[in-house]
Structure 1
């Protein structure tokens, strides 16, 4: 499958199989499984998920029908996390930072200003840090697939002003996901963070409940947040990814040959999605600028210094413990 920016950004709902319709309508599958996520159908995650579901159906000779529920159709992030834990849905992709409400160590990959570039991210997440987090996730009776999917480096948008330095965040009303790490970081900047689920972000910005939010460019674009935000400040303040999670009991009930096929295609789709997001982000600043969004390059050192001064790194080192923090700094360099 060849992906272009046109495919990713202008696709309609047909880009993802509707929940009740299989891409292969012939015959009844032996296993009908639900996969839910919170992203629009045009995001690379769902484009690759559709391709993945079709490949699984083909390789299992029609035994598996993986149904895709995009755009928070099955509820908020917290709702869907509860459902995948109970077995109401079998698969769910979720940011490690939000997963940390259940698995505290999962948010370590999103420590503010820890990763300088993608090379460092993938070395860490495909290496020992990722293995450590997957082991912690397993303790919650969830299975995390080998390769985390990309969400991207996060940027701050605003309806009121550009964010240049840490001082610009003082008193700033910003939406953050339902995650202690996000709230802690923006409180260290003396901001006013509000935890709001993603399916409510557009309306919260539109009604001025908050003045800004932070997300990777691919989500800012596919969720059309530029319609309700004027400024985008390139901060790269956190890297964020999606763990592809499975209900452990549901996964172990599948025959071994089916699990092997599914894991192969899920992990392959995750690697392709990483490349898609990188390509998409490389062009989105120009495209969003043409739609009227104003960009500025923030001063990263200002934010990193403020976090050190506020004791943010020292606090989270204490929460994660020496083993986890040592693994992080093996890739990030000294933080605290």
Structure 2
């Protein structure tokens, strides 16, 4: 079992559930007195660092505001799918949520961090997303009525899993029916690589793999583990083809209506949570390779350059430069290098 800071993730989650602090349990006395009762929705499973650390932030925020703020965390898509939650935040029906891919349907440049094979390592990721590229993206979201917090959560580098054969290079993807999130960046990437990308909701993914509706899928190791996808997949290729991060959103108008001191406490809590969650994912990546290997899964680490060459030849990078625009693409290449 994976632990964080010496504390079992499963134990932390069980304790929060028992106390009614995750999801719709009975509110503690302090929460019942709160002036600001806020809800935070996420697709992350309850024991994923992206949910656990936000729950810790909620407790810190309650303490910092003397109980004025009660932030309830709803993991595992309890409040609906990511697209539904994103729409709810835009309308003001939901207070906070985190997501990556679904926002691209509203603001394409919101997914520029997921350009295939852009970031070689985390040093480049955080330089970009905590720097000028992230600031540019957040400014675009502000134009459509969303406040985005400065620090993103780390969903991790995405890797390809398969049941029948390992992926050693781009040729192995030809004809592979692979599940992808329902957005164009993912679909066009795997199309260019010769695969057959198939959008399926994450909640339906395990069954789709088990019944061979799709032959493979791609996700960060933390989600492969928490969703137990390794039970129905026997090979994991550490392609790291996309770095995937979650922006944390709130409705800009509702956010501006809160007192400055309350906003400052929430911002501080969510910022600290994001930085801790990033560290958690780094530790988990190392631990999960060992634990998933013990479950009978074979790992490989393909050379990334042949994938990049196929994408470049297919016009993938030129196409997305045109879609995103010259200014954000220049900011991406400032950190990632020429694509």
For normalisation by structure 1, the TM-score amounts to 0.95
TM-align CA RMSD: 1.6
Which of 90, 96, 103 is residue 99 of structure 1 equivalent to? 103
Is 1:272 paired with 2:276?
A: yes
The alpha-carbon distance between structure 1 residues 128 and 64, as it changes in their structure 2 partners (threshold 3 A), is same
User: How many Å separate the matches in 2 of 1:23 and 1:306?
Assistant: 54
User: How many Å separate the matches in 2 of 1:305 and 1:15?
Assistant: 47
User: How many Å separate the matches in 2 of 1:292 and 1:7?
Assistant: 23
User: How many Å separate the matches in 2 of 1:156 and 1:6?
Assistant: 30
Which of 80, 84, 109 is residue 75 of structure 1 equivalent to? 80
Matches within 5 A, 1:255-334: 255-334=259-338
Matches within 5 A, 1:154-193: 154-193=158-197
Deviations 1:83-117 (A, max 9, x none): 1111221100001x331111110111010000000
User: How many Å separate the matches in 2 of 1:163 and 1:293?
Assistant: 13
How far residue 6 of structure 1 moved from its aligned partner, in angstroms, is 6.0
User: How many Å separate the matches in 2 of 1:268 and 1:24?
Assistant: 24
User: How many Å separate the matches in 1 of 2:88 and 2:270?
Assistant: 20
Is the Cα–Cα contact under 8 Å of residues 170 and 189 in structure 1 kept in the other structure? yes
Deviations 1:179-237 (A, max 9, x none): 11000100001111111222222222122211111111111111111111111111010
Structure 1 unpaired stretches of 5+: none
Q: Give 3-state SS (helix, strand or coil) of 1:133's partner.
A: helix
Is 1:56 paired with 2:61?
A: yes
Q: After TM superposition, what 4+ stretches of structure 1 lie above 6 angstroms from structure 2?
A: none
The alpha-carbon distance between structure 1 residues 100 and 284, as it changes in their structure 2 partners (threshold 3 A), is same
Is the Cα–Cα contact under 8 Å of residues 87 and 250 in structure 1 kept in the other structure? yes
Deviations 1:237-280 (A, max 9, x none): 01010001111222122111101110111011101100110111
Q: Give 3-state SS (helix, strand or coil) of 1:209's partner.
A: coil
Is the Cα–Cα contact under 8 Å of residues 15 and 46 in structure 1 kept in the other structure? no
How far residue 9 of structure 1 moved from its aligned partner, in angstroms, is 5.7
Is the Cα–Cα contact under 8 Å of residues 62 and 68 in structure 2 kept in the other structure? yes
How far residue 31 of structure 1 moved from its aligned partner, in angstroms, is 0.9
User: How many Å separate the matches in 1 of 2:13 and 2:99?
Assistant: 23
How far residue 59 of structure 1 moved from its aligned partner, in angstroms, is 0.7
Q: Give 3-state SS (helix, strand or coil) of 2:144's partner.
A: coil
How far residue 8 of structure 1 moved from its aligned partner, in angstroms, is 3.0
Is the Cα–Cα contact under 8 Å of residues 133 and 328 in structure 2 kept in the other structure? yes
